[in-house]
Structure 1
Amino acid sequence: MFRKEKAVIIGGGISGKLAARVLSDFFQEVLIIERDQEPEGPFPRKGAPQGEHIHALLHAGEAGLESLFPGITEKFYSSGAIKINSTKDLAWFHHGVWKLRFDGEFSTILQTRPHLEWHIDQYIKSIPNVTVQYNQVVRDYICKETENIIAGVEVVDGSGHAENILADLVVDASGASSITSKWLEKREIHIPDKKAKIGLSYISKTFQLAKNEDRDWAIKIVYPNPPVEKMGGTISKVEGNRYLVTINGYHNVINEKEALLNDKSFLELAKKLPKLDIYQEIKDAPPLTGTSIYRVPQITWRQFQKVNLPDGLLLIGDTICRIDPVFGQGMSIAVLEALALQRLFQKSDHSIKKITTTFHKKAAKIISPIWNMVIIEDFRYPETTGKKPLGLFIQQWYAKNIFLISSQDQHVYNSLFKVMNLIHSMTTLMHPRILKTVLKRTFLK
């Protein structure tokens, strides 16, 4: 089995912990460098401001997480996470219609991101050859310039004390504002990328809802019907018998200063959604938290697979691709990347250079269809800027038909559900039976 001495991971978020779990099987020592303080429980942390908003673990991500951390799904449930039937307990208003609801074959976990991350953190701490250094920042890479090798990192703690840490492999899991991009740019190494400006704002608040026997859902999504509508919202039951509400708006449609004024301002925002369902649920409900905000001005996919990176450097998670969080795919992409990395180390006796180069190509193959799926929807707004995919109009037309048919046809919705949960590829929706249904709707309606 591939066995090297030391791997250093920059960033102790979800993608960093996933990488640590994988590398712990192949390195004698794995060290995570984390800028935040050590967490004291399942609470939001400064380094993950998006943690106070609704998160989703798609089915592919859930299955992958369980394979990496056996038993973690049961730990989620035993500590309060909610298990629902994915197509029965979800009420979803999408592109102007309510999705069909039925007792399907899949279940979904409803929980806050801090709750999920806390359990991953506890698992990581149980791995004997993984350690975490908190309150530390990676200031620079240690690079053997003539050999083009990353040999470690320079770390600075809260008191300003600097330390050099040598490693066989350095993994950058620090996210969209990572050190790597800036480091490469300084060396005039251009990173090709794809970008789209979406001007997205997330506004969230947690409520205590009164019991209601008529409440037949555990999560309700009100999605905007673009391009006319730009605001959507989700209300989801989470651990502790609480309900987390996130309102999102594209292209700066939300007045953030106004939304943060007081509790009434949040209610006024909920009134502006395409349906009043969420407002009706929270208008008399006591809030349990303040209002939090998170911004995603643009989404970016840095195509590191096209760059001749130094030996000993690997990128993962948001460091490679920060995708539109409305579709809930970010965490699951990180899980799929971790699984790809695991398979490479399991099957390969190649050098680290060969493994990292191959990994970045595989990560691109994971991201590409998901990026395309997301960008098709983001470009329904004329204000979205960026390079449009080929055949955009046709793809949008076809997708819109699938969305609308999903309000009536169980087979079509189930197929869409599997695609959106990264279980099946987009080609599933081109099956002759589905294609025939779309054409029939178009020409015979």
Structure 2
Amino acid sequence: MQGLQKHSSGLVAAQRLSKHFDEVVCLERDPLGGDRDAKTLPTKRPGVPQFKHAHGLLGRGGSILDDSFGPDYRSELLAAGGRLVDWHSDLVIHALPGTTFMRDAPGSAPPPGRPPMYMYSATRGLIEGTARKLLERNPKVTVRYGARADGLAFSADKDDGGRPAAVEGVTLAGGGGVVGADLVVDCSGRNSRVADWLGAAGWEAPPVSVVDAGVGYVSRHVRLTLEAQRRLEGIELIAGLPLYPNPQFALMQRMEGGEFMVAMAGFAQDEAAGSPPMVDDVAAINAWGQGVWWPEFNELLCGATALGPPSRFFNLNNVHRRYDAVALPEGLALLGDTVCSFNPVYGQER
């Protein structure tokens, strides 16, 4: 089995499929090889544009990783500084002025019979890197870094329509040859080229549905002042939701190493009206943040030390490629953002 891997879905797919195949080869276009652990992963992933933004795995997403990689996933994630967050007691969400939800009163006991609602909270590097490290321990899995797929390798057999009947591997860019496989799984994400490759071989392109909410956001790692940290003691994430007619919202999320991820976002096609500036001008971003209706946000951020430049994430169209509505050759499976890519804020549990 051979997989095109760019996202966490590829890591999970490889781990799961290793139970059914003698050998699994993952093709990872980013050059992440070498000796490392979850704490020394790179701060940039060209193949994952949201790498530098806030990440949390809700219950279903976390349980999939736990089930796939076993108890070592949780223990190693938390040992490296990841957080296990209870939505009931560890979060403060401001929905309207003077109101909050998703947080029990400090020190109060939860209602009888109510289970915790956990999520993993960490940087993308740690969430993904922990899974990657565990996958690399699997003797049936080989990860080839810096290997970029450039097409599908098809069988010589034809179907009734004269198209290649099956996929038998992947061709590599740069004259890297062909990697043969009984099954090819494309997890290469929202920019997958598999539809073009199939179309060139005569297979019908899938219908595509697009919904653009006009959302964009800017994130950066910061170290808050001691006073701000004191105010946030016992709180893992604090956020203010958009309040009509102001489309802006913001959050602060506790990360490993005593850092916080600060994210500012908005819903608007016109970036001047709602979305953060698409520039690296820190002053412009801070000025935009003054428009967040939730006053505590700027109070907590005042005096913070930036630990890196701001990172932007825009063009978050929600795209559904209806591969279920068209025929596909044998030996090919499609997974994750290759099929359906959402705004990551609410799209992780598909």
Structure 2 vs 1, CA of residues 53 and 73 (structure 1 numbering), >3 Å: closer, same or farther?
same
Residue 36 of structure 1 aligns with which residue? 30
Evaluate the alpha carbon distance shift between residue 100 and residue 205 of structure 1 in structure 2; reply closer, same or farther with a 3 A threshold: closer
Q: Residues 152-163 of structure 1 correspond to what in structure 2 (within 5 A)? A: 152-156=169-173, 160-163=174-177
Question: Which residue does 2:113 correspond to in 1?
Answer: none
- Residue 166 of structure 1 is matched in structure 2 by 180
What is the match of residue 360 of structure 1?
A: none
The alpha-carbon distance between structure 1 residues 202 and 214, as it changes in their structure 2 partners (threshold 3 A), is closer
Aligned residue among 286, 295, 308 for 2:327: 308
* 1:268 alignment partner in structure 2: 287
Q: Does 1:99 pair with 2:92?
A: no
Q: Report the 3-state secondary structure (helix = DSSP H, G, I; strand = E; otherwise coil) of the residue aligned with 1:272.
A: coil
Which of 337, 341, 344 aligns to 1:318? It is 337
Distance verdict in 2 for CA 1:193–1:72, change over 3 Å: same
CA–CA distance in 1 between the matches of 2:17 and 2:4? 13
User: Hey, what's the Cα distance between the residues in 1 that align with 2:343 and 2:6?
Assistant: 22
Identical positions, percent: 23
* Equivalent position SS for 1:33: strand
Q: Residue 244 and residue 92 in structure 1: after superposition, are their counterparts in 2 closer, same or farther (change >3 A)?
A: same
Residue 242 of structure 1 is matched in structure 2 by: 259
Report the equivalent of 2:212.
Answer: 197
Which stretch has the larger CA shift, 130-139 or 144-153? 144-153
The answer on whether the counterparts of 1:203 and 1:294 sit within 8 Å (CA) in structure 2 is yes
Deviation at 1:131, TM superposition (A): 0.5
**Deviation string for 1:212-239 (max 9, x for gaps)?**
333242201211135x232211110000
Note if 1:67 corresponds to 2:67.
yes
C-alpha displacement of 1:257: 8.8
- The verdict on how the C-alpha distance between 1:25 and 1:10 changes in structure 2, with shifts beyond 3 A counting, is same
The correspondence of residues 206-225 of structure 1 with structure 2, limited to 5 A, is 206-212=221-227, 213-216=230-233, 217-225=235-243
Between 131-140 and 252-261, the greater mean CA deviation after superposition: 252-261
SS across alignment from 1:289: coil
Q: Does residue 12 of structure 2 align to residue 18 of structure 1?
A: yes
Once structures 1 and 2 are overlaid, which stretch shifts more, 230-239 or 184-193? 184-193
What is aligned with 2:247?
Answer: 230
Please name the residue that 1:86 is paired with: 87
- Structure 2 residue identity aligned to 1:197: D
What is the CA-CA distance between 1:207 and the residue it aligns to? 0.5
- Contact 1:198/1:296 (8 A) holds in 2: no
* Equivalent position SS for 2:329: coil
Q: Whole-Å Cα distance in 2 between the matches of residues 245 and 326 of structure 1?
A: 14
Q: Which amino acid aligns with 1:166?
A: G
37-46 vs 192-201, which deviates more? 37-46
SS at match of 1:64: helix
The answer as to whether partners of 2:51 and 2:125 remain within 8 angstroms in 1 is yes
Q: What is the alpha-carbon distance in structure 2 between the residues aligned to residue 142 and residue 95 of structure 1?
A: 55
Question: Relative to structure 2, which stretch is displaced further, 230-239 or 85-94?
Answer: 85-94
CA distance in 2, matches of 1:84, 1:132: 31
**Cα distance, 1:311–1:95 mapped onto 2, change above 3 Å:** farther
Equivalent position amino acid for 1:85 in 2: D
SS at 2:231 equivalent: coil
Q: 1:95-127: per-residue Cα shift (whole Å, max 9, x none)? A: 664215216523332211111111111001000
> Is 1:146 equivalent to 2:158 in the alignment?
yes
Residues 117-132 of structure 1 mapped to structure 2, 5 A cutoff: 117-132=128-143
Q: Measure how far apart 1:253 and its partner are.
A: 4.2
Which position in structure 1 is the counterpart of 2:55? Answer: 55
Tell me if the contact between 1:259 and 1:269 (Cα under 8 Å) persists in the aligned partners: no
Cα 1:276–1:252 change in 2 (3 A) is: farther
Separation in 1, partners of 2:140, 2:124 = 26
C-alpha separation in 2, matches of 1:26 and 1:101: 43
| Structure 2 runs not aligned, ≥5 long | 111-115, 160-164
- The one-letter amino acid paired with 1:229 is N
Root-mean-square deviation over aligned CA pairs: 2.0
Q: Which residue does 1:391 correspond to in 2?
A: none
What are the equivalent positions in structure 2 for 1:389-404 lying under 5 Å apart? none
Aligned residues: 321
Deviations 1:301-336 (A, max 9, x none): 112122111101001111111112233x32x33xxx
Q: Which residue does the alignment assign to 1:45?
A: 45
How far apart, in 2, do the equivalents of 1:284 and 1:266 lie? 15
Distance 2:199 2:51 in 1: 30
Q: CA deviation at 1:11?
A: 1.8
1:115 aligned residue (100, 104, 126): 126
Secondary structure of the 1:94 match is strand
Structure 1 residues without counterparts, runs of 5 or longer = 1-6, 334-445
Deviations 1:415-444 (A, max 9, x none): xxxxxxxxxxxxxxxxxxxxxxxxxxxxxx
Following the alignment from structure 2 to structure 1, what is the Cα–Cα distance between the partners of residues 338 and 296?
A: 37
Please state how far the C-alpha of 1:29 moved relative to its aligned partner.
0.7
Letter in 2 for 1:322: S
Q: Which amino acid aligns with 1:221?
A: A
Give the TM-score taking structure 1 as reference length: 0.68
Looking at structure 2, the residues matched to 94 and 193 of structure 1 have their Cα atoms a distance apart, in angstroms, of 34
CA distance in 1 between counterparts of 2:267 and 2:17 reads 38
Deviations 1:82-105 (A, max 9, x none): 233322220112366421521652
Find the residue that maps to 2:308 and give its secondary structure. Answer: coil
